[in-house]
């Protein structure tokens, strides 16, 4: 991990206005640090309390989710740490420059019904604000498969389309993991395109590694951010996927986050 992420002094350069909590964009001073690092900074102080996530902090859940992504070896989540910042302790995450492709569909997008782009999967049909039928679709990108499986493991309650980023480095990244890792099933995602399909042996091998690491060092690291029950629930979700290696079907009254982007 880039050491600057942990230590460099951060200056706020902007705020993500669509964000529901205080989500700030910060940069380091290249004259001091030798390189310019841009990050997202979410101070714990700016967190809106959530009745269904009473324990720990959203920032801690973001760090815990990153640690799980790393333990799997998937690199789905950009480097994320808990540290001090201009408004006190918070989560700091490497900023991902995204591809601006006006012409092509985004990783998660809407398209007219019956016009699903090649290499995309349909998740649901709905009416757009003008009343036209549209399909919610997402790409079949292998890194998006990993994100979908990661979401099952971390029990992500808020995988919106805008939380899947196409980096200019050609990789796909997931962001916003503040409401993950609850003990009760809360999976809410736009990535249902693989529901009911088998999880590949390659990914199962990584999940085996994760489950084995949980009683050890990884569990110790997670304990700084999660309750014991939440760590046990994570292990149970991993074991369940190993026993029945199939992507879950949408369940419950609200399986898709709203708004979806």
Which residues of this protein are in contact with ligand ADP, per CB under 6 A?
Answer: 16, 18-21, 23, 40, 78, 93, 95-96, 162-163, 165, 175-176, 178
Selection from ligand ADP, Mg ion, none that 23 binds (CB < 5 to 8 A by kind) is ligand ADP
Q: Between 202 and 258, name the residue whose CB sits nearer to ligand ADP.
A: 258
| Strand 88-94 versus strand 38-43 pairing type | antiparallel
> Which position's Cβ is nearest Mg ion?
176
Q: Give 20 or 205: the residue with its C-beta nearer to Mg ion.
A: 20
**Minimum CB distance to ligand ADP, residue 46 (Å):** 9
| Partner interacting with residue 40 (select from Mg ion, ligand ADP, none; CB below 5-8 Å by kind) | ligand ADP
Q: 78 contacts which partner out of Mg ion, ligand ADP, none, CB within 5 to 8 A by kind? A: ligand ADP
Q: What is the nearest approach in angstroms of Mg ion to the Cβ of residue 19? A: 6
Asked if 57 and 28 touch (Cβ cutoff 8 Å), the reply is no
176 binds Mg ion per the rule CB under 5 A: yes
CA distances from 183 to 65, 128, 130, 154 (A): 14, 35, 39, 10
- DSSP for 149-178, written as a single string: HHHHHHT-S-B-GGGEEEBTTS-EEE---T
Check residue 85 and report its DSSP letter: E
CA distance linking residue 135 with residue 105, whole number of Å: 12
Q: Which does 93 bind (CB under 5 to 8 A by kind): ligand ADP, Mg ion, none?
A: ligand ADP
Q: How far is the CB of 160 from Mg ion (least distance, A)?
A: 6
Q: Which residue is nearest to ligand ADP (CB)?
A: 19
Which 56-95 positions form the footprint of Mg ion (CB under 5 A)?
none
Structure tokens that stand for 132 in this block: 């036209």
The least distance separating ligand ADP from the CB of residue 18, rounded to whole angstroms, comes to 6
The distance from CA 2 to its chain's CA centroid, rounded to whole angstroms, is: 20
Min separation Cβ 243 and ligand ADP, Å: 32
Smallest distance, ligand ADP to C-beta of residue 49, A: 14
Neighbours of 72 (CB within 10 A): 21
Q: In whole angstroms, what is the distance from residue 45 CA to residue 30 CA?
A: 27
Contact by Cβ (8 Å): 41, 11:
no
Q: Among the candidate windows 59-67, 176-184, 204-212, 231-239, which touches Mg ion by CB under 5 A?
A: 176-184
From CA 219, how far away is CA 228, in angstroms rounded? Answer: 9
Token output for 58: 């959203």
Contacted entry of Mg ion, ligand ADP, none for residue 204, CB cut-off 5 to 8 Å set by kind:
none
Alpha carbon separation from 124 to 108, 139, 165, 167 (Å, rounded): 12, 14, 21, 26
CB of 230 to ligand ADP, least distance (A): 19
Residues forming contacts to Mg ion in the complex (CB under 5 A) are: 176
């Amino acid at each position: 991990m880039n050491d600057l992420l942990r230590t460099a002094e951060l200056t706020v350069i902007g705020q993500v206005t669509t964000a529901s909590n205080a989500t700030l964009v910060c940069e380091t001073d290249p004259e001091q640090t030798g390189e310019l690092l841009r990050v997202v900074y979410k101070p714990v102080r700016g967190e809106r309390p959530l009745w269904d996530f009473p324990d720990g902090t959203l920032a801690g859940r973001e760090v815990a989710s990153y640690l799980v992504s790393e333990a799997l070896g998937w690199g789905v989540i950009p480097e994320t740490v808990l540290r001090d910042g201009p408004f006190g302790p918070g989560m700091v995450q490497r900023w991902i420059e995204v591809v601006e492709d006006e012409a092509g569909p985004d990783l998660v997008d809407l398209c007219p019904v019956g016009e699903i782009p090649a290499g995309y999967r349909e998740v649901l049909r709905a009416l757009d604000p003008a009343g036209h039928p549209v399909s919610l679709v997402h790409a079949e990108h292998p890194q998006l498969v990993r994100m979908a499986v990661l979401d099952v493991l971390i029990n992500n309650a808020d995988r919106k389309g805008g939380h899947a980023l196409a980096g200019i480095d050609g990789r796909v990244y997931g962001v916003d993991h503040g409401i993950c890792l609850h003990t009760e099933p809360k999976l809410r995602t736009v990535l249902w395109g693989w529901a009911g399909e088998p999880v590949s042996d390659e990914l199962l091998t990584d999940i085996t590694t994760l489950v084995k690491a949980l009683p050890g060092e990884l569990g110790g690291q997670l304990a700084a951010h999660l309750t014991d029950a939440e760590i046990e629930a994570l292990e149970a979700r991993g074991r369940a996927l190993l026993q029945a290696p199939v992507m879950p079907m949408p369940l419950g009254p609200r399986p898709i986050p709203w708004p979806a982007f």
